[in-house]
Amino acid sequence: MVGEEWLRRLGAELGGAALVPNAEGLCALTFEGVAITLNLHPHAGALTLRSVVGGLPEEGFEALALQLLAASLGPQGLAMDARGVVYLTRHLSGAASRQHPWHEVFTRFARQAAAWQRRLPQPWEH
C-alpha cells in the first residue's frame, strides 16, 4: 500500500513520529544526521527520497562534475539543479518497500548522502 499509510508505517519503523505529507506530497525527516525529503507518488505507488549533498563551485567545478558523472551509486542517483545544488535521490516502489526493511534502505541512503556531503563543497556554510 502506497500513500499516507505507507508513510505512517515508515515513521513507525524508523522510530519516529508519523510522517504526514503536505499538499504537494512532500514531507521531511532527519535520519542519522542527514536531512531527507520524501516525495510521495501515491498514484504511481512510489516514493522518492532526496537529500542535498552539496554544490558545485562557480570556478574549477570540472573535476567535481567528472566525479559526479563517474559515480556508481547502485539504486541511487545524483541530480543537479540550475543553481548547481547537487542532490542524491532514490526512487522506491511499493514492491521495494516489501523486499527491504525501511531502516536498511534509509541507513544506506543517509550514509551515501553523508559521504557525498564530505566530498562536495557546502557553499551555503560560508
- Predicted pLDDT of residue 126: 45
Question: Percentage of residues in the chain with pLDDT exceeding 90?
Answer: 23
Domain segments of the chain as ranges: 73-121
For helices 102-119 and 4-13, what crossing angle results, to 10°?
80
Reported confidence tier of residue 117, pLDDT bands at 50, 70, 90: very high
Cell numbers 545524483 label which residue? 78
Strand partners, 113: none
pLDDT digits (tens, 9 = 90+) for 38-69: 998 877 778 899 999 998 877 777 777 777 77
Query: Is residue 9 scored above 50 in pLDDT?
Result: yes
Residues 3 and 46: their CA atoms lie apart, in Å, by 9
pLDDT digits (tens, 9 = 90+) for 61-95: 777 777 777 776 667 788 888 888 899 999 887 66
pTM score, whole prediction: 0.81
* Summary mean pLDDT of the chain: 82
